[in-house]
Structure 1
Amino acid sequence: MIPSVVLNFLFPPPPSVFITTMSVIGFASLANAGFMEIKGKHMQYSKLAEEKKKAQISSKTGMLIIYTPAFLAGLSSLIIFPNEELRFTLGSGALTIHFLKRVLEVLFVHKFSGSMDVEAAIAISLSYLSMTSTMIYAQNFTKGLQVPSTDLMHPGVAIFLVGIVGNLYHHNLLSNLRREGEKDYKIPKGGFFNLVICPHYLFEIMGFIGITCISQTIYAFSFTSGSILYLMGRSYATRDWYKSKFEDFPENVKALIPFIF
Protein backbone atom coordinates (compact mmCIF):
# COMPACT_ATOMS: atom_id res chain seq x y z
CA MET A 1 0.00 0.00 0.00
CA ILE A 2 1.17 3.49 -0.85
CA PRO A 3 0.76 6.10 1.94
CA SER A 4 -1.96 8.60 1.12
CA VAL A 5 0.46 11.49 1.60
CA VAL A 6 2.52 10.19 -1.34
CA LEU A 7 -0.55 10.28 -3.56
CA ASN A 8 -0.71 14.03 -2.98
CA PHE A 9 2.34 14.20 -5.24
CA LEU A 10 1.90 11.18 -7.53
CA PHE A 11 -0.76 9.74 -9.77
CA PRO A 12 -2.26 6.52 -8.36
CA PRO A 13 -0.53 3.26 -9.32
CA PRO A 14 -1.61 2.09 -12.78
CA PRO A 15 -3.49 -1.20 -13.24
CA SER A 16 -0.43 -2.72 -14.89
CA VAL A 17 1.56 -5.65 -13.57
CA PHE A 18 4.34 -4.71 -15.99
CA ILE A 19 4.73 -1.16 -14.63
CA THR A 20 4.59 -2.40 -11.04
CA THR A 21 7.18 -5.08 -11.72
CA MET A 22 9.49 -2.68 -13.55
CA SER A 23 9.20 -0.17 -10.71
CA VAL A 24 10.32 -2.76 -8.15
CA ILE A 25 13.06 -4.23 -10.34
CA GLY A 26 14.37 -0.81 -11.38
CA PHE A 27 14.65 0.47 -7.83
CA ALA A 28 16.12 -2.75 -6.45
CA SER A 29 18.72 -3.17 -9.19
CA LEU A 30 19.92 0.44 -8.98
CA ALA A 31 20.05 0.39 -5.19
CA ASN A 32 22.03 -2.86 -5.30
CA ALA A 33 24.39 -1.40 -7.92
CA GLY A 34 25.05 1.55 -5.61
CA PHE A 35 25.82 -0.81 -2.73
CA MET A 36 28.18 -2.79 -4.98
CA GLU A 37 30.01 0.43 -5.91
CA ILE A 38 30.68 1.10 -2.23
CA LYS A 39 31.96 -2.47 -1.83
CA GLY A 40 34.34 -1.98 -4.77
CA LYS A 41 32.46 -3.92 -7.46
CA HIS A 42 32.16 -1.21 -10.09
CA MET A 43 30.33 -0.85 -13.37
CA GLN A 44 32.95 -1.57 -16.03
CA TYR A 45 33.42 1.89 -17.50
CA SER A 46 35.46 5.02 -16.74
CA LYS A 47 38.40 5.17 -14.34
CA LEU A 48 36.76 2.79 -11.85
CA ALA A 49 36.78 -0.12 -14.29
CA GLU A 50 38.79 -3.12 -13.16
CA GLU A 51 41.41 -4.99 -15.18
CA LYS A 52 39.98 -5.57 -18.65
CA LYS A 53 39.50 -9.23 -19.53
CA LYS A 54 36.40 -9.24 -21.73
CA ALA A 55 35.81 -7.97 -25.27
CA GLN A 56 36.57 -4.26 -25.48
CA ILE A 57 35.47 -1.32 -27.60
CA SER A 58 36.59 2.30 -27.44
CA SER A 59 35.00 4.29 -24.64
CA LYS A 60 33.56 6.76 -27.16
CA THR A 61 31.84 4.00 -29.13
CA GLY A 62 30.62 2.42 -25.92
CA MET A 63 29.08 5.66 -24.68
CA LEU A 64 27.30 6.17 -28.00
CA ILE A 65 25.90 2.64 -27.72
CA ILE A 66 24.73 3.45 -24.19
CA TYR A 67 22.88 6.69 -24.93
CA THR A 68 21.67 6.59 -28.53
CA PRO A 69 18.83 4.00 -28.23
CA ALA A 70 17.25 5.86 -25.29
CA PHE A 71 17.47 9.15 -27.22
CA LEU A 72 15.78 7.54 -30.23
CA ALA A 73 13.04 6.10 -28.01
CA GLY A 74 12.25 9.54 -26.59
CA LEU A 75 12.36 11.19 -30.01
CA SER A 76 10.13 8.49 -31.50
CA SER A 77 7.49 9.07 -28.83
CA LEU A 78 7.33 12.77 -29.75
CA ILE A 79 7.03 11.96 -33.46
CA ILE A 80 4.50 9.14 -33.10
CA PHE A 81 2.34 10.96 -30.52
CA PRO A 82 2.55 14.66 -31.49
CA ASN A 83 -0.79 15.74 -30.01
CA GLU A 84 -0.67 14.26 -26.52
CA GLU A 85 -1.33 16.09 -23.26
CA LEU A 86 1.22 18.69 -22.17
CA ARG A 87 2.56 16.53 -19.33
CA PHE A 88 3.29 13.66 -21.73
CA THR A 89 5.00 15.98 -24.21
CA LEU A 90 7.10 17.68 -21.52
CA GLY A 91 8.13 14.35 -19.98
CA SER A 92 9.06 12.75 -23.31
CA GLY A 93 10.76 15.97 -24.36
CA ALA A 94 12.84 16.08 -21.18
CA LEU A 95 13.96 12.47 -21.64
CA THR A 96 14.83 13.16 -25.27
CA ILE A 97 16.82 16.28 -24.39
CA HIS A 98 18.61 14.45 -21.57
CA PHE A 99 19.91 11.70 -23.84
CA LEU A 100 20.50 13.99 -26.82
CA LYS A 101 22.76 16.05 -24.56
CA ARG A 102 24.58 12.87 -23.58
CA VAL A 103 25.13 11.92 -27.23
CA LEU A 104 26.37 15.40 -28.14
CA GLU A 105 28.72 15.41 -25.15
CA VAL A 106 30.21 12.10 -26.30
CA LEU A 107 30.74 13.55 -29.77
CA PHE A 108 31.96 17.03 -28.91
CA VAL A 109 32.78 17.48 -25.20
CA HIS A 110 34.27 14.41 -23.53
CA LYS A 111 37.84 13.29 -24.01
CA PHE A 112 38.36 9.53 -23.92
CA SER A 113 41.53 7.63 -23.14
CA GLY A 114 40.44 4.04 -22.52
CA SER A 115 38.13 1.25 -23.51
CA MET A 116 34.94 -0.33 -22.24
CA ASP A 117 33.54 -3.84 -21.91
CA VAL A 118 31.12 -4.58 -24.73
CA GLU A 119 28.86 -6.42 -22.27
CA ALA A 120 28.78 -3.41 -19.93
CA ALA A 121 27.93 -1.03 -22.76
CA ILE A 122 25.07 -3.22 -23.98
CA ALA A 123 23.72 -3.83 -20.46
CA ILE A 124 23.70 -0.12 -19.57
CA SER A 125 22.21 0.76 -22.96
CA LEU A 126 19.35 -1.69 -22.47
CA SER A 127 18.79 -0.32 -18.98
CA TYR A 128 18.47 3.26 -20.23
CA LEU A 129 16.29 2.19 -23.16
CA SER A 130 14.03 0.20 -20.85
CA MET A 131 13.79 3.09 -18.41
CA THR A 132 12.92 5.62 -21.10
CA SER A 133 10.35 3.41 -22.81
CA THR A 134 8.73 2.36 -19.53
CA MET A 135 8.55 5.93 -18.25
CA ILE A 136 6.84 7.05 -21.46
CA TYR A 137 4.50 4.04 -21.34
CA ALA A 138 3.64 4.69 -17.69
CA GLN A 139 2.67 8.27 -18.54
CA ASN A 140 -0.11 6.94 -20.78
CA PHE A 141 -1.91 5.60 -17.72
CA THR A 142 -2.32 9.13 -16.35
CA LYS A 143 -4.52 10.27 -19.24
CA GLY A 144 -7.88 11.50 -18.00
CA LEU A 145 -6.93 11.13 -14.33
CA GLN A 146 -7.26 13.96 -11.86
CA VAL A 147 -3.95 15.75 -11.40
CA PRO A 148 -2.37 15.13 -7.96
CA SER A 149 -3.33 17.77 -5.41
CA THR A 150 0.24 19.11 -5.57
CA ASP A 151 0.96 19.69 -9.25
CA LEU A 152 4.74 19.63 -9.74
CA MET A 153 4.82 19.76 -13.55
CA HIS A 154 5.98 23.35 -13.99
CA PRO A 155 8.47 23.32 -11.08
CA GLY A 156 9.74 20.07 -12.58
CA VAL A 157 10.61 21.81 -15.84
CA ALA A 158 12.66 24.41 -13.92
CA ILE A 159 14.46 21.75 -11.85
CA PHE A 160 15.20 19.72 -14.99
CA LEU A 161 16.71 22.73 -16.77
CA VAL A 162 18.92 23.60 -13.78
CA GLY A 163 20.04 19.98 -13.62
CA ILE A 164 20.88 19.62 -17.29
CA VAL A 165 22.73 22.95 -17.49
CA GLY A 166 24.70 22.23 -14.29
CA ASN A 167 25.58 18.75 -15.51
CA LEU A 168 26.79 20.08 -18.87
CA TYR A 169 28.83 22.83 -17.20
CA HIS A 170 30.68 20.39 -14.95
CA HIS A 171 31.21 17.88 -17.75
CA ASN A 172 32.85 20.71 -19.69
CA LEU A 173 35.10 21.49 -16.72
CA LEU A 174 36.13 17.82 -16.59
CA SER A 175 36.89 17.81 -20.30
CA ASN A 176 39.04 20.93 -20.05
CA LEU A 177 41.23 19.37 -17.35
CA ARG A 178 43.23 17.59 -20.03
CA ARG A 179 45.03 19.11 -22.96
CA GLU A 180 45.00 17.33 -26.30
CA GLY A 181 46.91 14.08 -26.01
CA GLU A 182 47.05 14.02 -22.21
CA LYS A 183 45.80 10.89 -20.47
CA ASP A 184 46.73 11.47 -16.82
CA TYR A 185 43.94 12.18 -14.34
CA LYS A 186 43.87 15.40 -12.33
CA ILE A 187 41.83 16.60 -9.37
CA PRO A 188 38.92 18.56 -10.86
CA LYS A 189 38.53 22.19 -9.80
CA GLY A 190 36.07 24.99 -10.41
CA GLY A 191 32.30 25.22 -9.97
CA PHE A 192 30.92 22.74 -7.47
CA PHE A 193 34.09 20.64 -7.80
CA ASN A 194 35.43 22.80 -4.97
CA LEU A 195 32.74 21.26 -2.74
CA VAL A 196 32.11 17.74 -4.09
CA ILE A 197 34.04 15.42 -6.38
CA CYS A 198 30.96 14.47 -8.42
CA PRO A 199 28.88 17.63 -9.02
CA HIS A 200 27.94 16.23 -12.44
CA TYR A 201 26.16 13.41 -10.59
CA LEU A 202 24.50 15.92 -8.27
CA PHE A 203 23.07 17.84 -11.22
CA GLU A 204 22.17 14.60 -13.00
CA ILE A 205 20.08 13.71 -9.95
CA MET A 206 18.43 17.14 -10.17
CA GLY A 207 17.61 16.44 -13.81
CA PHE A 208 15.93 13.15 -12.95
CA ILE A 209 14.08 14.76 -10.04
CA GLY A 210 12.82 17.32 -12.54
CA ILE A 211 11.62 14.58 -14.89
CA THR A 212 9.90 12.84 -11.96
CA CYS A 213 8.14 16.08 -11.00
CA ILE A 214 6.96 16.50 -14.59
CA SER A 215 5.76 12.92 -14.77
CA GLN A 216 4.51 12.39 -11.20
CA THR A 217 4.19 8.65 -11.80
CA ILE A 218 5.12 5.83 -9.45
CA TYR A 219 7.59 4.44 -11.98
CA ALA A 220 9.45 7.74 -12.42
CA PHE A 221 9.65 8.14 -8.64
CA SER A 222 10.95 4.58 -8.25
CA PHE A 223 13.60 4.94 -10.95
CA THR A 224 14.83 8.30 -9.65
CA SER A 225 15.00 6.98 -6.06
CA GLY A 226 17.09 4.04 -7.23
CA SER A 227 19.29 6.33 -9.35
CA ILE A 228 19.99 8.53 -6.33
CA LEU A 229 21.16 5.51 -4.34
CA TYR A 230 23.31 4.29 -7.22
CA LEU A 231 24.95 7.69 -7.79
CA MET A 232 25.57 8.04 -4.06
CA GLY A 233 27.47 4.75 -4.17
CA ARG A 234 29.28 5.70 -7.37
CA SER A 235 30.33 9.10 -6.03
CA TYR A 236 31.53 7.52 -2.77
CA ALA A 237 33.69 5.10 -4.77
CA THR A 238 34.95 7.95 -6.98
CA ARG A 239 36.04 9.98 -3.95
CA ASP A 240 37.87 6.94 -2.57
CA TRP A 241 39.61 6.50 -5.94
CA TYR A 242 40.83 10.10 -5.98
CA LYS A 243 42.03 9.83 -2.37
CA SER A 244 44.02 6.73 -3.29
CA LYS A 245 45.63 8.40 -6.30
CA PHE A 246 46.32 11.89 -4.94
CA GLU A 247 47.96 12.52 -1.56
CA ASP A 248 46.89 16.17 -1.74
CA PHE A 249 43.21 15.43 -2.25
CA PRO A 250 41.34 18.01 -0.10
CA GLU A 251 39.47 16.39 2.81
CA ASN A 252 36.75 19.06 2.75
CA VAL A 253 35.64 17.98 -0.73
CA LYS A 254 32.74 15.58 -0.23
CA ALA A 255 31.45 12.91 -2.61
CA LEU A 256 28.06 14.20 -3.76
CA ILE A 257 26.27 16.54 -1.33
CA PRO A 258 28.19 19.68 -0.26
CA PHE A 259 29.28 19.63 3.42
CA ILE A 260 27.31 16.44 4.11
CA PHE A 261 28.22 13.37 2.01
Structure 2
Amino acid sequence: MPSVTVNSAGRSPAVARGLAWPVTLDLPEDATIGDVKSALAKRCPKFYKERQKISVKDDRKALDDATRLADVSSELAVKDLGPQISWRTVFMIEYVGPLIIHPLIYNLPRIFYGGPVQHSRLQQYVYAMVLLHFLKREIETVFVHRFSHATMPFRNIFKNSAHYHLLSGLLLAYSVYSPPFSAPSPYIRGTVRDDPTWLNAYAAAWLFAELSNLHTHLTLRSLRPEGTTKRAVPYGYGFDLVSCPNYFFEICAWVVITLMTGSYAAWLFLVVGTGQMALWALKKHKAYKKEFGTEYPKGRKAMIPYIF
Protein backbone atom coordinates (compact mmCIF):
# COMPACT_ATOMS: atom_id res chain seq x y z
CA MET A 1 0.00 0.00 0.00
CA PRO A 2 1.77 3.20 -1.20
CA SER A 3 1.89 6.41 0.80
CA VAL A 4 1.38 9.99 -0.37
CA THR A 5 2.57 13.20 1.29
CA VAL A 6 0.23 16.19 1.42
CA ASN A 7 1.48 19.58 2.52
CA SER A 8 -0.41 22.77 3.20
CA ALA A 9 -0.57 25.35 0.44
CA GLY A 10 0.49 28.48 2.32
CA ARG A 11 -0.52 28.75 5.96
CA SER A 12 -1.98 25.68 7.61
CA PRO A 13 -5.78 25.66 7.28
CA ALA A 14 -7.25 27.00 10.51
CA VAL A 15 -9.97 24.36 10.40
CA ALA A 16 -7.33 21.59 10.19
CA ARG A 17 -4.67 22.78 12.62
CA GLY A 18 -5.06 19.52 14.48
CA LEU A 19 -3.26 17.79 11.63
CA ALA A 20 0.52 17.59 11.68
CA TRP A 21 1.78 18.99 8.36
CA PRO A 22 2.93 17.49 6.10
CA VAL A 23 0.42 14.65 6.31
CA THR A 24 1.36 11.18 5.13
CA LEU A 25 -1.51 8.99 3.95
CA ASP A 26 -1.46 5.27 3.17
CA LEU A 27 -3.80 4.64 0.26
CA PRO A 28 -4.61 1.80 -2.16
CA GLU A 29 -2.73 1.39 -5.44
CA ASP A 30 -5.67 2.70 -7.46
CA ALA A 31 -6.34 5.71 -5.19
CA THR A 32 -7.47 9.02 -6.65
CA ILE A 33 -7.37 12.67 -5.56
CA GLY A 34 -10.91 12.16 -4.31
CA ASP A 35 -9.59 9.42 -2.02
CA VAL A 36 -6.94 11.81 -0.69
CA LYS A 37 -9.65 14.33 0.18
CA SER A 38 -11.71 11.64 1.89
CA ALA A 39 -8.71 10.50 3.92
CA LEU A 40 -7.99 14.05 5.09
CA ALA A 41 -11.65 14.59 5.97
CA LYS A 42 -11.63 11.34 7.94
CA ARG A 43 -8.76 12.61 10.06
CA CYS A 44 -10.32 16.06 10.44
CA PRO A 45 -14.12 16.01 9.79
CA LYS A 46 -14.39 19.83 9.77
CA PHE A 47 -12.03 19.87 6.80
CA TYR A 48 -14.61 18.20 4.57
CA LYS A 49 -13.95 17.32 0.94
CA GLU A 50 -15.69 20.32 -0.58
CA ARG A 51 -13.42 22.71 1.36
CA GLN A 52 -10.29 21.17 -0.10
CA LYS A 53 -8.42 22.20 -3.23
CA ILE A 54 -5.62 19.78 -3.98
CA SER A 55 -2.89 20.57 -6.50
CA VAL A 56 0.66 19.56 -7.26
CA LYS A 57 3.04 21.43 -4.96
CA ASP A 58 4.00 24.86 -6.38
CA ASP A 59 1.19 24.62 -8.96
CA ARG A 60 -2.10 26.46 -8.38
CA LYS A 61 -4.17 24.36 -10.80
CA ALA A 62 -6.63 22.11 -8.97
CA LEU A 63 -6.46 18.40 -9.63
CA ASP A 64 -9.70 16.67 -10.56
CA ASP A 65 -11.06 14.21 -8.02
CA ALA A 66 -10.87 11.43 -10.62
CA THR A 67 -7.12 11.94 -11.18
CA ARG A 68 -5.19 8.81 -10.21
CA LEU A 69 -2.34 9.24 -7.76
CA ALA A 70 -0.24 6.99 -9.98
CA ASP A 71 -0.36 9.75 -12.59
CA VAL A 72 0.88 12.41 -10.16
CA SER A 73 4.58 12.21 -9.47
CA SER A 74 5.08 15.28 -7.27
CA GLU A 75 4.18 16.10 -3.69
CA LEU A 76 0.63 17.35 -3.20
CA ALA A 77 -0.57 20.56 -1.56
CA VAL A 78 -4.01 21.26 -0.13
CA LYS A 79 -5.71 24.64 0.28
CA ASP A 80 -8.71 25.42 2.45
CA LEU A 81 -11.45 26.98 0.30
CA GLY A 82 -13.38 28.08 3.36
CA PRO A 83 -16.97 27.30 4.40
CA GLN A 84 -19.01 26.00 1.48
CA ILE A 85 -22.64 26.18 0.41
CA SER A 86 -24.35 23.95 -2.13
CA TRP A 87 -25.00 25.38 -5.58
CA ARG A 88 -28.61 24.26 -5.35
CA THR A 89 -29.06 26.36 -2.21
CA VAL A 90 -27.27 29.28 -3.88
CA PHE A 91 -29.66 29.25 -6.84
CA MET A 92 -32.72 29.03 -4.61
CA ILE A 93 -31.55 32.03 -2.55
CA GLU A 94 -30.77 34.04 -5.69
CA TYR A 95 -34.14 33.47 -7.31
CA VAL A 96 -36.29 33.85 -4.22
CA GLY A 97 -35.29 37.51 -3.93
CA PRO A 98 -37.36 38.76 -6.90
CA LEU A 99 -40.20 36.43 -5.88
CA ILE A 100 -40.45 38.38 -2.62
CA ILE A 101 -39.50 41.88 -3.79
CA HIS A 102 -41.85 42.17 -6.78
CA PRO A 103 -45.05 41.26 -4.86
CA LEU A 104 -44.11 43.68 -2.06
CA ILE A 105 -43.61 46.66 -4.38
CA TYR A 106 -46.53 45.76 -6.67
CA ASN A 107 -49.04 45.29 -3.85
CA LEU A 108 -47.82 47.96 -1.42
CA PRO A 109 -47.43 51.09 -3.58
CA ARG A 110 -48.26 53.46 -0.70
CA ILE A 111 -45.10 52.38 1.09
CA PHE A 112 -42.81 52.73 -1.94
CA TYR A 113 -44.41 55.59 -3.88
CA GLY A 114 -46.35 57.45 -1.21
CA GLY A 115 -49.75 56.72 -2.73
CA PRO A 116 -51.87 54.24 -4.69
CA VAL A 117 -50.97 53.09 -8.20
CA GLN A 118 -53.66 52.08 -10.69
CA HIS A 119 -51.82 49.25 -12.40
CA SER A 120 -51.82 49.28 -16.19
CA ARG A 121 -52.12 46.21 -18.37
CA LEU A 122 -48.39 46.50 -19.01
CA GLN A 123 -47.60 46.35 -15.29
CA GLN A 124 -49.90 43.37 -14.85
CA TYR A 125 -48.22 41.50 -17.72
CA VAL A 126 -44.70 42.25 -16.49
CA TYR A 127 -45.60 41.29 -12.94
CA ALA A 128 -46.91 37.90 -14.09
CA MET A 129 -43.98 37.30 -16.42
CA VAL A 130 -41.30 38.09 -13.83
CA LEU A 131 -42.92 35.91 -11.18
CA LEU A 132 -43.38 33.01 -13.60
CA HIS A 133 -39.78 33.34 -14.78
CA PHE A 134 -38.29 33.08 -11.31
CA LEU A 135 -40.77 30.43 -10.19
CA LYS A 136 -39.64 28.39 -13.20
CA ARG A 137 -36.02 28.92 -12.18
CA GLU A 138 -36.74 27.68 -8.65
CA ILE A 139 -38.52 24.56 -9.98
CA GLU A 140 -35.63 23.86 -12.36
CA THR A 141 -33.17 24.21 -9.51
CA VAL A 142 -34.97 21.57 -7.45
CA PHE A 143 -36.04 19.11 -10.15
CA VAL A 144 -33.96 19.67 -13.31
CA HIS A 145 -30.43 20.97 -12.75
CA ARG A 146 -27.54 18.62 -12.07
CA PHE A 147 -24.40 20.37 -10.90
CA SER A 148 -20.84 19.49 -11.90
CA HIS A 149 -19.60 21.21 -8.72
CA ALA A 150 -21.45 20.48 -5.50
CA THR A 151 -20.56 23.67 -3.63
CA MET A 152 -19.06 27.14 -3.81
CA PRO A 153 -17.50 29.36 -1.10
CA PHE A 154 -20.21 30.70 1.21
CA ARG A 155 -18.87 34.27 0.98
CA ASN A 156 -19.81 34.40 -2.73
CA ILE A 157 -23.53 34.07 -1.99
CA PHE A 158 -23.79 37.79 -1.27
CA LYS A 159 -22.18 38.81 -4.56
CA ASN A 160 -24.22 36.29 -6.57
CA SER A 161 -27.51 37.26 -4.95
CA ALA A 162 -26.97 40.99 -5.41
CA HIS A 163 -27.35 40.65 -9.18
CA TYR A 164 -30.86 39.23 -8.83
CA HIS A 165 -32.04 40.86 -5.62
CA LEU A 166 -30.94 44.37 -6.61
CA LEU A 167 -31.12 44.54 -10.42
CA SER A 168 -33.99 42.23 -11.41
CA GLY A 169 -35.56 42.57 -7.99
CA LEU A 170 -35.55 45.95 -6.29
CA LEU A 171 -34.50 48.20 -9.20
CA LEU A 172 -36.70 46.59 -11.86
CA ALA A 173 -39.76 46.33 -9.62
CA TYR A 174 -39.45 49.90 -8.33
CA SER A 175 -39.13 51.22 -11.87
CA VAL A 176 -41.82 49.22 -13.68
CA TYR A 177 -44.55 49.38 -11.00
CA SER A 178 -44.10 53.13 -10.46
CA PRO A 179 -46.73 55.80 -11.43
CA PRO A 180 -45.07 56.60 -14.80
CA PHE A 181 -46.04 53.10 -15.94
CA SER A 182 -49.53 53.15 -14.39
CA ALA A 183 -52.83 53.15 -16.31
CA PRO A 184 -53.41 56.97 -16.28
CA SER A 185 -49.84 57.77 -17.32
CA PRO A 186 -49.40 59.41 -20.76
CA TYR A 187 -46.50 57.00 -21.29
CA ILE A 188 -49.06 54.17 -21.26
CA ARG A 189 -52.54 55.52 -21.98
CA GLY A 190 -53.47 55.42 -25.66
CA THR A 191 -50.15 53.83 -26.70
CA VAL A 192 -49.23 50.35 -27.86
CA ARG A 193 -48.11 49.64 -24.28
CA ASP A 194 -51.80 49.49 -23.39
CA ASP A 195 -52.90 47.54 -26.50
CA PRO A 196 -53.93 43.95 -25.62
CA THR A 197 -52.95 42.68 -29.07
CA TRP A 198 -49.47 44.16 -28.74
CA LEU A 199 -49.08 42.85 -25.20
CA ASN A 200 -50.28 39.36 -26.13
CA ALA A 201 -47.79 39.22 -29.01
CA TYR A 202 -44.93 40.04 -26.69
CA ALA A 203 -46.22 37.58 -24.09
CA ALA A 204 -46.23 34.86 -26.76
CA ALA A 205 -42.63 35.67 -27.70
CA TRP A 206 -41.66 35.60 -24.02
CA LEU A 207 -43.38 32.23 -23.51
CA PHE A 208 -41.58 30.79 -26.53
CA ALA A 209 -38.22 31.90 -25.09
CA GLU A 210 -39.00 30.51 -21.63
CA LEU A 211 -40.15 27.12 -22.94
CA SER A 212 -37.12 26.94 -25.24
CA ASN A 213 -34.87 27.67 -22.27
CA LEU A 214 -36.55 24.88 -20.30
CA HIS A 215 -36.08 22.48 -23.22
CA THR A 216 -32.34 23.13 -23.30
CA HIS A 217 -32.07 22.55 -19.55
CA LEU A 218 -33.84 19.21 -19.93
CA THR A 219 -31.41 18.28 -22.72
CA LEU A 220 -28.42 19.06 -20.50
CA ARG A 221 -29.94 17.05 -17.65
CA SER A 222 -30.33 14.01 -19.89
CA LEU A 223 -26.60 14.05 -20.65
CA ARG A 224 -25.48 13.77 -17.03
CA PRO A 225 -26.47 10.67 -15.03
CA GLU A 226 -27.44 11.50 -11.46
CA GLY A 227 -24.54 11.62 -9.04
CA THR A 228 -21.87 12.03 -11.75
CA THR A 229 -19.94 14.87 -13.37
CA LYS A 230 -20.02 13.20 -16.78
CA ARG A 231 -20.01 15.55 -19.78
CA ALA A 232 -21.13 14.80 -23.33
CA VAL A 233 -21.63 16.80 -26.51
CA PRO A 234 -25.20 18.17 -26.53
CA TYR A 235 -27.19 18.03 -29.76
CA GLY A 236 -30.67 19.00 -30.87
CA TYR A 237 -32.88 22.02 -30.39
CA GLY A 238 -30.69 25.12 -30.06
CA PHE A 239 -27.47 23.17 -29.60
CA ASP A 240 -26.96 22.72 -33.34
CA LEU A 241 -26.21 26.44 -33.58
CA VAL A 242 -24.61 27.41 -30.26
CA SER A 243 -22.93 25.79 -27.27
CA CYS A 244 -25.17 27.58 -24.75
CA PRO A 245 -28.69 28.02 -26.15
CA ASN A 246 -30.01 28.17 -22.57
CA TYR A 247 -28.29 31.55 -22.19
CA PHE A 248 -29.49 32.71 -25.62
CA PHE A 249 -33.14 31.94 -24.85
CA GLU A 250 -32.84 33.55 -21.42
CA ILE A 251 -31.59 36.73 -23.06
CA CYS A 252 -34.49 36.59 -25.53
CA ALA A 253 -36.99 36.44 -22.65
CA TRP A 254 -35.48 39.53 -21.02
CA VAL A 255 -35.28 41.36 -24.36
CA VAL A 256 -39.07 40.97 -24.56
CA ILE A 257 -39.58 42.53 -21.12
CA THR A 258 -37.10 45.29 -21.91
CA LEU A 259 -38.81 46.22 -25.18
CA MET A 260 -42.25 46.03 -23.56
CA THR A 261 -41.37 48.49 -20.83
CA GLY A 262 -38.50 50.59 -22.12
CA SER A 263 -37.48 50.82 -18.46
CA TYR A 264 -33.92 51.91 -17.67
CA ALA A 265 -33.83 49.15 -15.03
CA ALA A 266 -34.78 46.49 -17.56
CA TRP A 267 -32.10 47.76 -19.96
CA LEU A 268 -29.49 47.73 -17.21
CA PHE A 269 -30.33 44.19 -16.10
CA LEU A 270 -30.35 43.02 -19.73
CA VAL A 271 -26.91 44.53 -20.47
CA VAL A 272 -25.30 43.26 -17.25
CA GLY A 273 -26.91 39.82 -17.55
CA THR A 274 -25.97 39.44 -21.21
CA GLY A 275 -22.38 40.41 -20.47
CA GLN A 276 -22.10 37.87 -17.66
CA MET A 277 -23.72 35.08 -19.68
CA ALA A 278 -21.44 35.87 -22.62
CA LEU A 279 -18.40 35.27 -20.38
CA TRP A 280 -19.87 31.99 -19.09
CA ALA A 281 -20.81 30.87 -22.61
CA LEU A 282 -17.35 31.61 -24.01
CA LYS A 283 -15.71 29.71 -21.16
CA LYS A 284 -18.00 26.70 -21.65
CA HIS A 285 -17.58 26.84 -25.44
CA LYS A 286 -13.79 26.69 -25.10
CA ALA A 287 -14.07 23.88 -22.55
CA TYR A 288 -16.25 21.84 -24.91
CA LYS A 289 -13.80 22.30 -27.79
CA LYS A 290 -10.82 21.41 -25.61
CA GLU A 291 -12.47 18.34 -24.10
CA PHE A 292 -14.06 16.86 -27.21
CA GLY A 293 -11.63 18.08 -29.85
CA THR A 294 -12.57 17.07 -33.39
CA GLU A 295 -15.80 15.48 -32.12
CA TYR A 296 -17.19 18.92 -31.33
CA PRO A 297 -19.13 20.52 -34.22
CA LYS A 298 -17.00 23.24 -35.83
CA GLY A 299 -19.83 25.51 -36.93
CA ARG A 300 -21.21 26.26 -33.48
CA LYS A 301 -20.92 29.67 -31.89
CA ALA A 302 -20.77 30.22 -28.15
CA MET A 303 -24.12 31.88 -27.42
CA ILE A 304 -25.69 33.88 -30.27
CA PRO A 305 -26.35 31.97 -33.53
CA TYR A 306 -24.03 32.92 -36.42
CA ILE A 307 -22.57 35.85 -34.45
CA PHE A 308 -20.88 34.97 -31.14
- What's 2:90 paired with? 62
Write out aligned runs for 1:36-51 (5 A).
none
Between 1 and 2, higher relative CO (CA 8 Å, sep ≥ 6) is seen in 1
Q: Give the TM-score, by structure 2 length.
A: 0.62
Contact 1:157 1:214 in 2 (8 A): no
In 2, the alpha carbon distance for the partners of 1:149 and 1:88 equals 14
* Larger Rg computed on CA atoms: 2
In 1, the alpha carbon distance for the partners of 2:260 and 2:136 equals 19
- What's 1:215 paired with? 261
Query: Which residue identity does 2:306 align to in structure 1?
Result: F
Identity %: 27
Q: Return closer, same or farther for 1:52/1:242 CA change in 2, 3 Å cut-off.
A: farther
Contact 1:66 1:125 in 2 (8 A): yes
In 1, the alpha carbon distance for the partners of 2:162 and 2:80 equals 21
In 1, the alpha carbon distance for the partners of 2:156 and 2:202 equals 31
**C-alpha deviation, 1:154, in angstroms:** 3.9
- What's 2:181 paired with? 142
- How large is the RMSD of aligned CA atoms in angstroms? 2.4
- What's 1:16 paired with? none
In 1, the alpha carbon distance for the partners of 2:127 and 2:118 equals 12
Select 2:211's aligned residue among 158, 162, 165: 165
**C-alpha deviation, 1:235, in angstroms:** 1.2
Write out aligned runs for 1:68-217 (5 A).
68-80=96-108, 84-113=119-148, 114-131=150-167, 132-139=169-176, 140=178, 141-143=180-182, 144-147=185-188, 151=193, 153-217=199-263
Contact 2:105 2:174 in 1 (8 A): no
Unaligned ranges ≥5, structure 1: 1-50
**C-alpha deviation, 1:125, in angstroms:** 1.4
- What's 2:56 paired with? none
In 2, the alpha carbon distance for the partners of 1:130 and 1:115 equals 23
Query: Which residue identity does 2:123 align to in structure 1?
Result: F
- Pair 1:252 & 2:299 matched: yes
Q: Give the TM-score, by structure 1 length.
A: 0.73
Contact 1:66 1:122 in 2 (8 A): no
**C-alpha deviation, 1:83, in angstroms:** 6.0
In 2, the alpha carbon distance for the partners of 1:156 and 1:119 equals 38
Query: Which residue identity does 1:188 align to in structure 2?
Result: P
**Bigger Cα displacement from structure 2, 179-188 vs 99-108:** 179-188
**C-alpha deviation, 1:122, in angstroms:** 2.4
In 1, the alpha carbon distance for the partners of 2:103 and 2:207 equals 18
In 1, the alpha carbon distance for the partners of 2:80 and 2:119 equals 46
Q: How many residues align?
A: 211
Query: Which residue identity does 1:176 align to in structure 2?
Result: S
**C-alpha deviation, 1:196, in angstroms:** 0.6
Q: Return closer, same or farther for 1:153/1:120 CA change in 2, 3 Å cut-off.
A: farther
**Bigger Cα displacement from structure 2, 77-86 vs 135-144:** 77-86
Bigger fraction of residues in strand:
2
Secondary structure of the corresponding residue to residue 57 of structure 1: strand
Bigger fraction of residues in helix:
1
In 1, the alpha carbon distance for the partners of 2:160 and 2:200 equals 30
In 1, the alpha carbon distance for the partners of 2:258 and 2:200 equals 11
Unaligned ranges ≥5, structure 2: 1-78, 110-116
**C-alpha deviation, 1:77, in angstroms:** 4.2
